[in-house]
Structure 1
Amino acid sequence: MNHAAVATRVIAEKFSHATADDVPELNRALHSGLAGTAQIVTEYEAALAALYGVRHVIAVSSGAASVTAALSGVDFRVGDEVVVAPTGPICTVLPILSLGLVPVFCDVAPDSFGLDPMDLQRCLSERTCAVIEVPMWGYPIRSDATWAYLQNTAIPLIQDLAHAHMTRLNDTWLAHHSDISCFSTHDCKFMSTGEGGFVMTDSDERAARIRAYTRFGNLTGETLGINLKLGGLQAALGLSRSRRLGAHLQQRLANRERLLGLLDSPAFREMPVVAGGEVNAYSLLLQAVGHDGRELVHHQQRHGIASDIGKYDNQPLYLLPLLSRYQRDCPNAARLLRSLTTVPLHPGLTDDDLYYIAKVLNDYSPA
């Protein structure tokens, strides 16, 4: 292939997660039980707990359900506050509203999706029942520092790791740096069960509360709960695909290394990776240098390369009509979202795809 003159192609964010074990595990589920309390769900939870080295995993029906379930594991009253960055998806904030809680938007640190430590102090109040951090597109944040600070306040830290399967910090999983972590396994995520998610914690007490909440309060009539369980078919896919997560990670990391080696434009850079952090290559995050990153987004989209920033027009969440009443000035967040684009790194990419992406991006020249 002549990489100096490449015909336009379509580079999608999604790819097939199918593995050779999918059908055998689905067949096993069909013959052993499909409910959220089936044995195969327990096996799936145990496989994830072993992979991440945590005491408890609770499988749930979606990523948003995982946030709702995580919040059920903390003490709160209606009207209490949850501190969260405005740079994440609305999917993180809707569960907060659904429980009668109030989102308090905290600015992020410069060039990071992690909460700014000084602004976090300003956001905390006697009504704060939890803090949620949301690392985006697989890039680690300093959750260790946030958690250490919050442990002096007795306020729990929840991490919404919908994008951060297998992301690491300080030689361990990023998920270990919080009281509760929650994940999405939607079909477009790092790991797919079609729809689904899971919650993890090392706390026996929090795990019991979360599991009860997702099972109608265990039907005892003593505590509130709803049905957020993951079904057996989705758990069968999760069990099958959890076995491939290590290889999947390595493929993505190899694509990232290859693509970064091909990029040589001064118009953009990779968003900085925090000290001690290891990305999972869910996407490559590029930052425009000295100009509006939406130009870069539109350039790659015109050439068929998918961008989450272009797809969702990411902006601070308090600019959305539903959340405008909670607006709070977060200048670092606004600058960050205007600087970025995402670039696919999934295992479905070929060498020619990577060369094509590199050529398109290297040919970019801001107006």
Structure 2
Amino acid sequence: MIPVAKPLIGEEEIKEVEKVLKSGFIAQGPKVAEFEEAFASYVGVEHAVAVSSGTTALHLSLLAAGVKPDDEVITTPFSFAATGNCALYVGAKPVFVDINPETFNLDPEQIEGAISKKTKAIIPVHLYGQPAQMDLINQIALENDLVVIEDAAQAHGAMIKDQMVGSMGDMACFSFYPTKNMTTSEGGIITTNDSNMADMARVLRAHGEKDRYQHVVLGYNFRMTDISATIGLVQLKKLDGFNKKRIENAEYLTEHIKDMSGIQPPYVSPEVKHVFHQYTVRIKEGKRHDLMEYLNQEGIGTGIHYPIPIYGQKLYQDMGYDDVCPETEKATSEVLSLPVHPDLSIEELEKIAISLEAASDKIF
């Protein structure tokens, strides 16, 4: 089976982890600080705060931004559940705004209609590795005195013109889960140019400690380990190469898919560098299940990211959410992710393209 996603861990990472294990520093230590400095430099920001996951990065970012119970946070319903759940963690209410059908990202034209007196923050998601329209989102936030927190969990190395994702909002949050464009096994990081927000995130990730055994706020154990950080340091050096291969693989697939009936390749905005965490197509005529079944029989892995809007999850239904976002609903019924990871061989890419062509002729 050609997997839809695959972590790439080499001998370099293994050797560096062995050094850490022998060093005695296996929890948060000097490697975490080194990784934070390297990642901040890569993104082009002053501060990076390493944490235990992308989810905890979102959680701490809202707390550091001062979002409180009963505040509202505008975000997209077409994302992993953590994007909405992070608002619930701080007692705030997620308010869902529909997506742009081309990019699958939060539609800026619909944000202002969702702003109320309780709105405190906007969380755009750079879904699948394609940056959201940050210029418009930031302008809306500026006019309404709102904080912008980029959910960059899927967009390591993505850019708008010459600016890196992770440097455009008040804060940004990355995930280093094994299937992401780079990994630390588990882990996440917050990037920002705001020293106060960075300082608060550092306090919050370590039990609310300002100084040793001096707990100034209610905090958490959301620290990254030196084991994870040392994997991240090696992976960060490989990230541009990984992304280059993802982009090349995506271009190959698009070239072969673009004229097939029933399969719509992903749109890429001309102003962005899309890093293809996922290569996600639309399957028309209600034939997604048939295509998935055919590809799986041919030994090609697939995924649906995402089959249910966040507001449609039982958790949110039980809270009384009755939202209907038409473009999100349509996307959840049509999207299908195909393998694009950097370990794909040309033979595997050819197999995917040939199988898609055969499926298109047979199914549509």
TM-score by length of 2: 0.92
Residue number in structure 2 paired with 1:64: 55
| Alpha-carbon distance between aligned partners in 2 of 1:28 and 1:303, rounded to the nearest angstrom | 42
Please give the residue correspondences for 1:1-367 in structure 2 after superposition, counting only pairs within 5 Å.
10-34=1-25, 36-218=27-209, 219-263=213-257, 264-289=259-284, 291=286, 293-309=288-304, 314-324=307-317, 325-365=320-360, 366-367=363-364
| CA offset digits 1:144-165 (Å, max 9, x no partner) | 2111211111111111111111
Amino acid aligned to 1:235: A
Cα 1:290–1:143 shift into 2, 3 Å: farther
| Alpha-carbon distance between aligned partners in 2 of 1:68 and 1:51, rounded to the nearest angstrom | 23
Q: State whether residues 112 and 336 of structure 1, in contact with CA within 8 Å, keep that contact through their aligned partners in structure 2.
A: no
| Alpha-carbon distance between aligned partners in 2 of 1:42 and 1:129, rounded to the nearest angstrom | 31
Q: State whether residues 68 and 96 of structure 1, in contact with CA within 8 Å, keep that contact through their aligned partners in structure 2.
A: yes
Amino acid aligned to 2:48: V
Q: State whether residues 151 and 174 of structure 2, in contact with CA within 8 Å, keep that contact through their aligned partners in structure 1.
A: yes
Structure 1: stretches of 5+ with no match in the other structure: 1-9
| Alpha-carbon distance between aligned partners in 1 of 2:148 and 2:27, rounded to the nearest angstrom | 27
Bigger drift between 281-290 and 161-170 goes to 281-290
Cα 1:308–1:351 shift into 2, 3 Å: same
1:35 deviates by 5.0
| Alpha-carbon distance between aligned partners in 2 of 1:156 and 1:69, rounded to the nearest angstrom | 14
Q: State whether residues 67 and 90 of structure 2, in contact with CA within 8 Å, keep that contact through their aligned partners in structure 1.
A: no
Amino acid aligned to 2:91: G
Identity percentage of aligned residues: 27
Q: State whether residues 208 and 220 of structure 2, in contact with CA within 8 Å, keep that contact through their aligned partners in structure 1.
A: yes
Structure 2: stretches of 5+ with no match in the other structure: none
| Alpha-carbon distance between aligned partners in 2 of 1:77 and 1:350, rounded to the nearest angstrom | 49
Aligned residue for 2:189, secondary structure, equals strand
Across the aligned residues of Structure 1 and Structure 2, the Cα RMSD in angstroms comes to 1.9
Q: State whether residues 294 and 340 of structure 1, in contact with CA within 8 Å, keep that contact through their aligned partners in structure 2.
A: no
| Alpha-carbon distance between aligned partners in 2 of 1:77 and 1:141, rounded to the nearest angstrom | 25
Aligned residue for 1:165, secondary structure, equals coil
1:289 deviates by 4.4
| Alpha-carbon distance between aligned partners in 1 of 2:133 and 2:261, rounded to the nearest angstrom | 27
Amino acid aligned to 1:246: D
Q: State whether residues 208 and 216 of structure 2, in contact with CA within 8 Å, keep that contact through their aligned partners in structure 1.
A: yes
Q: State whether residues 142 and 274 of structure 1, in contact with CA within 8 Å, keep that contact through their aligned partners in structure 2.
A: no
Residue number in structure 2 paired with 1:6: none
1:25 deviates by 1.9
Number of residue pairs matched?
Answer: 356
1:86 deviates by 0.7
Q: State whether residues 68 and 90 of structure 2, in contact with CA within 8 Å, keep that contact through their aligned partners in structure 1.
A: no
Aligned residue for 1:66, secondary structure, equals helix
| Alpha-carbon distance between aligned partners in 2 of 1:205 and 1:190, rounded to the nearest angstrom | 29
Bigger drift between 256-265 and 240-249 goes to 256-265
| Alpha-carbon distance between aligned partners in 2 of 1:346 and 1:153, rounded to the nearest angstrom | 39
TM-score by length of 1: 0.91
Q: State whether residues 53 and 176 of structure 2, in contact with CA within 8 Å, keep that contact through their aligned partners in structure 1.
A: yes
1:120 deviates by 1.1
Q: State whether residues 140 and 273 of structure 1, in contact with CA within 8 Å, keep that contact through their aligned partners in structure 2.
A: no
Aligned residue for 1:59, secondary structure, equals strand
Aligned residue for 2:143, secondary structure, equals coil
Amino acid aligned to 1:354: L
